[in-house]
Amino acid sequence: MTPFQTITNDSIDAQAATWFARNRNQPDRHCREQFNAWKAIPAHARAYAEFESLWAELGELQPRSKPAPQPVRRRSAFALATAAAVLCAVFALNIGTPMALHQQQVATQSQNPKTLTLPDGSSLTVNANTRLRIDFSSHQRNIYLDQGQLYIEVAANKEQPLVVHAGDALIRVVGTGFDVRRSQRQLVVSVAHGQVAFIPDGKSSALLGARQRASYDYAKGTLAEQILNPGEVADWRSGHLSFRNRELASLVDELDLYRPGVIELADGPLGRYKVSGNLDVSDPLALVKALPALIPVKNHLLENGKIRIEPR
């Protein structure tokens, strides 16, 4: 199967993101011919131009002061984008119409999502057991995700980009809808529409379009991307989660949002077992109890009340 054939079923934004990444990696003549055929369609050309514009804006940003020392980076297809996006997130820019200063802290415990309307018109939905801080300056809109999960429909403003900070990771957008989950094992970014620049560690980066997800593994330092089904982004807002061929370690990581510290996973290859199914977020332990019927595992109740998932 050719590279062109593998992306024809994706959304136009997802196709544009894929071609943009490939074109930054010195494609061969055959790949360039396929790209030109794809771009000949006006809607494709417009989507691709939007990605070029976003990347150009990142590269043109100039810091107001001397930048902090950056870690040594490997050469990669996204090296320039990574450096530019880090600069835009760290330094305020002397451009644009000032926005009223706004600071707010949000903390949730209940399993019912909480939705807020921010001063810029963005809509923020926060999941269970989530802590975050909002800090809007006159030049940049910042959200600091300390733990948990959020979905935000970002009000478009190219002169005041919105940046989500999750530890050392940065997620930079102008106007889009996307989901971020920060858990013990993973940092996961999923895009509903628009484009998102995701820089998890200063060494790697991803430019994501609609129905694309990137998952960063803290322990391995790896970044994996996948295509999502329609409606799969932030489906937790409805009270139910659907998942397909999901690694057990990733699933347990997400379950920890709803039952913090209750579920443990044994070490070894168990975490790579694939699971498909549905989850009612009001009763996540029901899924844990059903796991032995789905995959070769067993549940062991510990003396401290925790449930440990072990191989059978």
Are 222 and 115 contained in the same domain? yes
Answer whether residue 10 is part of any domain: no
Alpha-carbon distance values, 244 to 100, 150, 230, 237, 250 (Å): 43, 21, 13, 18, 12
More confident call, 98 vs 186: 186
- The parent domain of residue 296 ranges over 239-311
Q: How far apart are CA 183 and CA 147, in angstroms?
A: 6
- HSE-up of 259 (CA within 13 Å, CB side)? 18
From the centroid of its chain, how far is CA 251?
16
Q: Per-residue pLDDT tens for 26-66? A: 677 878 888 888 888 988 888 788 777 666 555 443 333 33
Question: Based on the structure, what is the number of domains in the chain?
Answer: 2
- Mean of the per-residue pLDDT values for the chain? 81
Residue 64 lies in a domain: no
> For position 56, what pLDDT does the model report?
59
Report residue 296's pLDDT band, with 50, 70 and 90 as the boundaries: very high
pTM (2 d.p.): 0.71
Q: Taking residues 94-122, what's their average pLDDT?
A: 78
State residue 182's pLDDT score: 96
Same-domain pairing of 270 and 298: yes
More confident residue, 275 or 62: 275
CATH number assigned to the domain comprising residue 101: 2.60.120.1440
* Residue where a domain terminates, one of 197, 227, 257: 227
Q: In 3D, which of 127, 125, 133, 132 has the Cα closest to residue 109?
A: 127
pLDDT tens figures, 199-239: 998 788 889 999 999 999 999 999 999 999 888 999 999 98
Whether 29 maps to a domain, the answer reads no
Tell me how far apart the alpha carbons of residues 312 and 297 are, in angstroms, rounded to a whole number.
5
Task: State residue 174's pLDDT score.
Answer: 76
The answer to whether 84 touches 59, Cβ cutoff 8 Å, is yes
CA atoms within 13 A of residue 191's CA, in its CB half-sphere: 28
